[in-house]
Amino acid sequence: MNAARDRIGSTPRLLVTGGAGFIGSAYVRDVLGRRDGTRITVLDKLTYAGRRANLALAEDDPEQAARLRFVHGDIVDPTVVDPLVAEADAVLNFAAESHVDRSILDPEAFLSTGVIGVHVLLEAVRREADRATSGARSSAPRFLQVSTDEVYGSVHEGWSRESDALAPRSPYSAAKAAGELLAMSYHATYGTDVVITRGSNTYGPYQYPEKLIPLFITNAIDDQPLPLYGDGLQERDWLHVSDHAKAIDHVLHHGDPGEVYNLPGEAQLTNRAVVAAILERLGKPWSLVRTVEDRPGHDRRYALDGTRLAGLGWRNLTDFATGIAETVDWFRDNDAWWREARSGAWDDYYRRQYSARLAASREA
């Protein structure tokens, strides 16, 4: 990896918001698992998608647990956020409502967390930077906003570069774009040390089973229909969660202030190809797949140019064939985890999202 200057030091105190979710918890497990002295406070609201169990591997290990603190709270609440930011060398904001289909059904929470929440974090970081300027603390905290390739909108050809215009097309991606723009405005106006990552579609263990890959794996395990939207020829660029987490950490330590970094997966596939890979690993038939009514405003294709990240010295470690096989096996071996996730309010969501679609479905 590149030997560029480390901008936050080797044993920082990190505030990780949304650290009980899919990618945030992978980040926490990975960083604590390095056993390099880094301390982490997780601030998480524990929405339907956030689960304390996602941190169990770290919390059950005494050496890691001593460097991990969990705070149950909301990033929109300054009384919770301010004292935590005051203790941090860097803030990594993973917290978000993250599912596009839910943003179509009910956008409000997306705006609250994605815009107001980001503002509350930025204000706290700005205050701490002022304290650093006045000598009340040794250095200003860095703010890393975890964003997404969806802010570019649907990319019909070519690969999105960081300088491309933002053209989000769902309430989810519009909220993510708003969060980014707010963060960049703090960099321009107040000199806040902001870096932004735009990751591509992420998959792997502990992903809440509403998203394509874990939904289709868990449905297929139970021989339930797999609801494929439209023609299934939409393209996504798949990034393994451990690579996503490690790339975020690389940008945190080495990224330039005020910069955006694409984090591509380098596995550009149609949804049909992804579903075929899942079924092959599980030994289940294609007849489970059903064509259903498309997602409104469905983005056809995302594709990221990774030149800037490569220039920072980062390379992904997991190829898609290996990653999808391990992911399928993880869900097959962790039945209790995903059955718990698919309980409670799950049935209502599933009915709302899929009942009418499946009733009118046809062979895929």
Point out which residues bind ligand DAU (CB under 6 A): 98-101, 148-150, 200-201, 211-212, 215, 227-229, 234, 236, 271, 295, 302
Kindly write down the DSSP assignment for every residue of 226-252, as one continuous string. Answer: EEEETTS--EEE-EEHHHHHHHHHHHH
In this structure, what token pair is assigned to residue 145? 């906003």
Q: How far is CA 315 from CA 102, 311, 337, in A?
A: 32, 10, 31
Amino acid 287 reads: S
74 binds ligand NAD (CB under 6 A): yes
Binding partner of residue 155 among ligand DAU, ligand NAD, none, CB under 5 to 8 Å per kind?
none
Distance in angstroms (rounded) separating the CA atoms of residues 35 and 32? 6
Q: What is residue 154's three-state secondary structure? A: coil
Q: Which residue is nearest to ligand DAU (CB)?
A: 148
* Residue 61 CB, nearest approach to ligand NAD (Å): 20
* Residue 69 CB, nearest approach to ligand NAD (Å): 15
Task: Tally Cβ neighbours within 10 Å of residue 43.
Answer: 27
* Residue 349 CB, nearest approach to ligand DAU (Å): 11
Contact by Cβ (8 Å): 115, 175:
yes
Beta bridge partners of 143: 91, 194
Distance in angstroms (rounded) separating the CA atoms of residues 321 and 360? 33
Q: Which member of 47, 219, 234, 242 binds ligand NAD (CB under 6 A)?
A: 47
Residue of 44, 89, 128, 149 marked catalytic:
149
Q: Which member of 29, 45, 240, 254 binds ligand NAD (CB under 6 A)?
A: 45
Phi/psi for 320 (5° steps) reads -65, -40
49 binds ligand NAD (CB under 6 A): yes
For the chain, counts of helices (H) and of strands (E)? 15, 14
155 binds ligand NAD (CB under 6 A): no
Only one of the segments 5-13, 37-45, 336-344, 353-361 lies at the binding site for ligand NAD (rule: CB under 6 A); that segment is 37-45
Question: Which CB, 124 or 241, lies closer to ligand DAU?
Answer: 241
| x-marked contacts with ligand NAD along 85-124 as a string, rule CB under 6 A | ---------xxxxx--------------x---x-------
| 172 annotated active-site | yes
Residue of 27, 172, 208, 302 marked catalytic:
172
In this structure, what token pair is assigned to residue 302? 């995302």
Q: Which member of 75, 81, 212, 341 binds ligand NAD (CB under 6 A)?
A: 75
Task: Tally Cβ neighbours within 10 Å of residue 336.
Answer: 9
* Residue 117 CB, nearest approach to ligand NAD (Å): 5
Q: Which member of 15, 31, 38, 44 binds ligand NAD (CB under 6 A)?
A: 44
Amino acid 2 reads: N
271 binds ligand NAD (CB under 6 A): no
Binding partner of residue 92 among ligand NAD, ligand DAU, none, CB under 5 to 8 Å per kind?
none
Q: Which of residues 130-149 bind ligand NAD (CB under 6 A)?
A: 146, 148
Q: Which member of 8, 55, 76, 226 binds ligand NAD (CB under 6 A)?
A: 76
Kindly write down the DSSP assignment for every residue of 25-79, as one continuous string. Answer: HHHHHHHHHT-SS-EEEEEE---TT--GGGGHHHHTSHHHHTTEEEEE--TT-HH
| 48 annotated active-site | no
Question: Which positions are catalytic?
Answer: 149-150, 172
